[in-house]
Amino acid sequence: MRTPTRARKGLFAPSALLVSAALLLTACGSGDPAADAAGAAGGPDAIPTTDVVSRIGENADAVRLLPPGTKELTLAVSVGGNPPGNAYLPDGKTLTGQDVDFAHAVGNALGISLKTEQASFEAVLPALDSGKYDIGASNFGVTEERRRTIDFVTYINDGQGFAAREDSELSEVTDLKQLCGLKVATGAGTTFEATLEESRHLCTDAGDEAYSVQTYSEPGALWSSLQQGRSDIVMSTINGLRYAVAHQQGLKFLNEFHRLDVGFALKKGSKLAPALQAAVNGLIADGTYARILKKWDTTESAIEKSKISPPELKD
């Protein structure tokens, strides 16, 4: 039997407004049309630009934990999503986002410079092992699979959630079998893709039609697929979904599905981990941490202390 809450192909008829917004998503900028438009005009929905990083002083205790001679590290980030993820301000040049703020806050606390390089989300973690990058910061969730080859230094708690168009019959997703027969859009190389692929059999095991997984490297394309009716539902970060729903018309946040710790990603066995952990805990103690979360309206993602490669959170 198919769940009665299932959205059907053709059920949605995206309005001209949604189609226009979707087209804007494919252009350069933050990846969020409302934020881009308001940001250009300096409106109330502009991407926040409060400086919560530049005045951070060195944390002597954390600095002492750095490997000797460490002066500069290469930071890899994926860009193109909507805040609080990494995005550009309307000038198309200035990189911003919660992960960027935390990375540079830690860099200042350690008295080091960060050479920031952009890469696709799915390319960052493999490149850490090769030494191409020292740190990855793109809302990387801590999972048991990733812990086998990557070390993490946690700085927030986020996780997996769902969003759909307002006219979707879905109100929440508590069981992935509710997705049977639907087209699910998500980011390539993410925990969401892994969760969906691992659980696809649940539908066929129940004698139902499997859901299809549509992966996108560019978040703008992901949102376009939803708004233009090419997909039925989006699975992504809780914080990112809430921001998108708040700043794009015609969308609704369904629910949180699974919480995960999020951390800076490092090569397995990296000697940088203790220093980064001490720097994050210093930011928590001096109030900087809370100011960064307040800037991005993500206070619900606060952690009490940073940990190095903790076990994956289980519901």
Q: What end-to-end distance do the CA atoms of the chain give, in Å?
A: 27
Structure tokens at 30: 């933050």
Per-residue tens of pLDDT for the chain, all 315 residues: 333 333 333 333 333 333 333 322 322 233 333 333 333 333 345 789 999 999 999 999 999 999 999 999 999 999 866 789 888 888 888 899 999 999 999 999 999 999 999 998 889 999 999 999 999 999 999 999 999 999 999 999 998 999 999 999 999 999 999 999 999 999 988 889 999 999 999 999 999 999 999 999 877 788 889 999 999 999 999 999 998 888 888 999 999 999 999 999 999 999 999 999 999 999 999 999 999 999 999 999 999 999 999 999 886
Question: Cα separation of 285 and 281, whole Å?
Answer: 6
**Quick check: bond before 48 cis, omega within 30?**
no
The SS3 call for residue 115 is strand
For 268-284, give one letter per residue: b (16+ CB within 10 A) or e.
eebebbbbbbbbbbbbb
- By the 8 A CB rule, do 113 and 107 touch? yes
Task: Kindly report the pTM of this predicted structure.
Answer: 0.79
> Does residue 22 come out as left (phi exceeding 0), alpha (psi in the -120 to 50 range) or beta?
alpha
DSSP states of 48-96 as a string? P----STTPPP-HHHHTTSPTT--EEEEEE---S-TTSSEE-TTSS-EE
DSSP 310: P
The dihedrals phi and psi of 149, each to the nearest 5 degrees, come to -125, -10
pLDDT of residue 191: 85
Closest CA to 297 of 223, 249, 246: 246
pLDDT of residue 79: 86
Q: Residue 106 contacts by C-beta under 8 Å, 6 or more apart in sequence?
A: 264, 276, 279, 280, 283
- By the 8 A CB rule, do 56 and 64 touch? no
Owner of token pair 């993820």: 85
Closest CA to 108 of 283, 268, 273, 274: 283
- By the 8 A CB rule, do 239 and 138 touch? no
Structure tokens at 304: 């009490």
What is the bridge-based pairing of β-strands 251-267 and 150-165? antiparallel
